[in-house]
Structure 1
């Protein structure tokens, strides 16, 4: 080495004007320890630890040490010693060493290391081209020439062979991504602990499931004590008890089939908390398809659990009242005990290649995941989604809850044409003992169909009919239709659509609820947005004809 100092992983200038140096050997060992710990929940400790120990091996090369000192400002005199691109790669040396020493086992470790900054490559072509390049060979040669200490090079190799992969050949891809998640999160956390030590305390101190369950029980006791003994409230108490009883069952796949108004939100949390407490689950993740629902759900949970709830979606990321430092950090890897997120965030974490998306994946292990409005899963992607969820429940200790008023058919289906077969869940436990009875008792709506199903009503006639009602909601099928009808309505008519930004939509929904509670005449024209779990109660609702998927909601 050109410098007598030990090789560095990171350098920062403190607020006190002093330079702080992060030893490379300490970084590698810390990442190995942390990554192995994350992977111990699914039997991958040795794999993840080796990847952590060698992930930054390329930083031992003289060229990188000159680069980090010059780029940081620690040593201005070495600024002229750089790679041709102005940066110096370092994530290939460990990958190449793993493949050379360990063969097929090393290929797995190499795949993790090579992608820990840029994201996962293609398993074959992308990685092969990189590993065979002259730059990769040179990086490894220079790193080994710097004589890394023996405790780094003489790592403990994985003892298990690839026959022990959770889920066998069908589970190989998810297992590799789980290991990658462990490595990436461990690397981020150890780097953050050095570069931004003031943030470490914001990641700690989350309440445990036992304390959260006590808070929930106290909140429910208070709510039930205030609730009048109406038929609906009595049914909600029954549903809540059914969830508590079901929570004692072994982990697996559960379905909750409850009509709108049955109290699914709080009942699902009752199940999740009791199940987590009974079976040692680490966190609860509530997945919702639309931000219009996620905002009200997160508000309900936050009113009970405080900042133990993180709300992870694009609208929350732009609202400083919803996302402070603690919440923002927890959104990076979902290490909070209660996560409320969108379907997009959840499924991109399962399938995307970017490190920022994959980072949180390992925190799905030993969790309870509630998929709300599960009937909205995209049909074209249903098979890979169910395949991944099945692996998570069978191999990674995840309990899955499919929650909706219109439960889709997600069991196995076989056809004469094998190409149409669907490999679904082998067994689902229905939490509600008699859903049909519940639907009958919660029936509070009288549906009236038009006399002539072939004749369309023009907007002018419909507007005249709507104006006769003091409070009415009309749901149409497109934003254009909503604009045309709203233009014909009185000036105080409110409008809802997915084109509105999250903050605006939330304000309008809040205004609608307040006006209805105060018995103020309220007319609303909305797109299908309002049908996806938005909690509104109108005496009269008009619905434009639509496809079966919309009617079934």
Structure 2
């Protein structure tokens, strides 16, 4: 048998199986080091392609290489089962210890799944997809080659004694890992360990394959050296700020004090900290100051900003890149440029790299978050732990030994809250990461069932700091009843008679677009701007730049926006109108009013806008309900007892009431299809809701019951951070967007393609399935890269609204 793992396309050079296994082992070990599970992850790398040690696979891959236009049927040779079966036969015997069985299950599931997704140990159908793969009864054709692939392994990779020693080291690591978990949380700890091993294996395998195929000998720059350089540049920037006359203002003195407190706290040990700097308090630079100094002191590998909205990423990443003078090592990953649904072939257990098509090449090029500083979204963060698709999970291991800053942490979707807190606790306790929970409206995560264990609040004397930062007055117009669009237009006119600038924030894109259209054609005596997520990131940044310039020039300005402008967007209006929402949203809206203390107090009006139809936006509705009651309560308070709507005590009470209102949603409710059972995602992953029934079903053969019970694949199929799937569309906004689209019509290698896709993120808009269908029906969609990437015709993208579902932007092109 000729040992072949891969055959390079351009020169037919062979990477042997033993080379690939040992190189992937080394990479996987390095990924598992900081979590103290390097031999466990290394074991997965060592055995993942064991099934390639067969004459059948050798013949298969040579035939595929020699006949690229007519290769053998994909998946006709199973090479990923062997490693999992090998471990199961060695460690999952009747007399095996509990930890030996757990190790076989943890590592074996990663191995058999590394070209697809983790298998269910048990699921609602009372099936163990894991056992169906690793047991000799389930895969007789693989077991018939057991002596062949195990013999070659011991001969070419590692002898039996050395392998036994290696397994023993992995068992020691597992024992230590388990000892750090409470008995009541052991299943939770093992779920995250399983997912971590899978992540390390997938990334090690993909990385080694890419390096071989593209002949890359990667020499990484030391992140530690970069962080030292970054810290120097940040300090230089802060010194320059202090030289400015504006630095003497009270607001800027307070900002510098917050920054100094962050630097002081960076000396503390790793852990979870809250940073409750009031809105407009400069938390972007303050948190960066903390992160760089903390990373240097505690040897963290990377800094990751997790942000709720792409609009904040646009601004914050731009600011950080400018200050640190580096746009190469600081990456933004706010959308996967979505390449269409995964096909059956792509989800095949036997995705052989020699046969990758264009779509799969794109997936191999997707970021794995191996960069010094990363800006990403909460959606992408949660997907790394829970979503279907190993391209998501591949990134997870890079969340360990990191400084992770969750900006606007109160925006975690309610149904995902328990999953979020458990993942953060894992990264803190097992992943050696430090976590910063940043927001002006700190949610009461210590009061929910699956709480986060916060070490400390960074801001000292928080109530006094909030009072010092006060720059706005909240004015309750909700008590006056619902406001129609005509009422709102009249109200806007009155406000603009007394102010130069006004920001209006509404809860849906539809009403924001409609109000903008009416104001833009009305005699309001101001330039009217519009912002929504129907615009790509570059488009939004350009609009914001125009808004800032007009504000700086003292021109009359009205901006109509959805909530995307609320969090983290550095812009200051004289006055703000906010449609009724949760107190956290109102606080963020207030942060766009009189942001820099341009006058003593700016007014923020809360209205009940009658034109809004919230539909499926239940979280906004529930937030409205709690806020409405709080406004009533505060209106009844008198004298010294009266407190501000945005005070820390009211915000704390708001979140306690809000989480109590939605307690049944926090664990991600699930309805088992085809059955009467209601459960939760948390229970399916971190508990064992089907175990008793499965044991009863398997009572004649109790050895066929796994110790682990997580329904990985079943749960991942049900998991969406937002309730509907979205598709990503690259839009032809400006010349650069058009050039990206043109370039994606050309064939490229993975490295060039990866660069293009990163660039395309600034020109990407996510749309829901129903909107995608409308674009398709109106003939506005176009397909790139063999149909794997979506774009639209220029007439479907408006310079005023972004993606135009009416496909009516052609009128704009004709007129202008």
The reply to whether TM is greater than 0.5 is yes
- Normalized against structure 2, the TM-score is what? 0.61
Q: Which residue of 2 aligns with 1:416?
A: none
Match of 1:64 among 57, 63, 70: 57
Equivalent residues in 2 for 1:175-186, closer than 5 Å: 175-186=193-204
Aligned equivalents of 1:149, 1:484: Cα separation in 2: 67
* Offset, 1:447: 3.2
Match of 2:7 among 8, 11, 26: 11
Aligned equivalents of 2:68, 2:505: Cα separation in 1: 66
Match of 1:101 among 86, 90, 94: 90
Does residue 269 (structure 1) correspond to residue 299 (structure 2)? The answer is no
Equivalent residues in 2 for 1:103-502, closer than 5 Å: 103=92, 104=101, 105-124=103-122, 125-132=128-135, 136-142=139-145, 144-145=147-148, 147-150=151-154, 151-152=157-158, 154=160, 155=163, 156-159=166-169, 160=171, 162-166=174-178, 167-168=180-181, 169=186, 170-198=188-216, 200-201=217-218, 204=221, 207-226=225-244, 228=246, 229-305=248-324, 306=326, 307-314=328-335, 332-411=367-446, 413=447, 422-450=449-477, 453-454=480-481, 456=483, 458-468=487-497, 469-491=499-521, 492-502=527-537
**2:258–2:459: 8 Å Cα contact kept in structure 1?**
yes
* Offset, 1:342: 0.4
**1:181–1:361: 8 Å Cα contact kept in structure 2?**
yes
* Offset, 1:203: 5.7
- Normalized against structure 1, the TM-score is what? 0.88
**1:120–1:354: 8 Å Cα contact kept in structure 2?**
no
What is the count of residue pairs matched by the alignment?
A: 524
Aligned equivalents of 2:514, 2:153: Cα separation in 1: 73
* Offset, 1:373: 0.3
Equivalent residues in 2 for 1:32-47, closer than 5 Å: 32-47=25-40
**1:203–1:329: 8 Å Cα contact kept in structure 2?**
no
1:85-119 deviation line (CA, Å, top 9, x unaligned): 66422100111011001111322221110011111
Change in CA separation of 1:158 and 1:362 when aligned onto 2, cut-off 3 Å: farther
Aligned equivalents of 1:75, 1:62: Cα separation in 2: 20
**2:405–2:436: 8 Å Cα contact kept in structure 1?**
yes
**2:35–2:430: 8 Å Cα contact kept in structure 1?**
yes
SS of residue paired to 2:300 = coil
Change in CA separation of 1:466 and 1:43 when aligned onto 2, cut-off 3 Å: same
**1:459–1:484: 8 Å Cα contact kept in structure 2?**
no
Does residue 92 (structure 1) correspond to residue 81 (structure 2)? The answer is yes
* Offset, 1:26: 0.7
Aligned equivalents of 2:55, 2:502: Cα separation in 1: 73
- Structure 2: give runs of 5+ residues left out of the alignment: 93-100, 123-127, 340-362, 522-526, 589-816
* Offset, 1:453: 2.3
1:409-460 deviation line (CA, Å, top 9, x unaligned): 111x3xxxxxxx6231334311111222222222122333349623635244
Change in CA separation of 1:451 and 1:362 when aligned onto 2, cut-off 3 Å: closer
SS of residue paired to 2:432 = coil
1:196-225 deviation line (CA, Å, top 9, x unaligned): 124x54865654422322222222222333
Kindly indicate whether structure 1 or structure 2 has the higher relative contact order, using CA contacts under 8 Å at least 6 residues apart: 2
Aligned equivalents of 1:137, 1:433: Cα separation in 2: 65
SS of residue paired to 1:171 = helix
- Structure 1: give runs of 5+ residues left out of the alignment: 319-327, 414-420
* Offset, 1:490: 3.7
Aligned equivalents of 1:291, 1:377: Cα separation in 2: 14
Match of 1:535 among 548, 565, 570: 570
Change in CA separation of 1:282 and 1:466 when aligned onto 2, cut-off 3 Å: same
Aligned equivalents of 2:219, 2:236: Cα separation in 1: 27
Aligned equivalents of 1:38, 1:341: Cα separation in 2: 20
The alignment yields a C-alpha RMSD, in angstroms, of 2.7
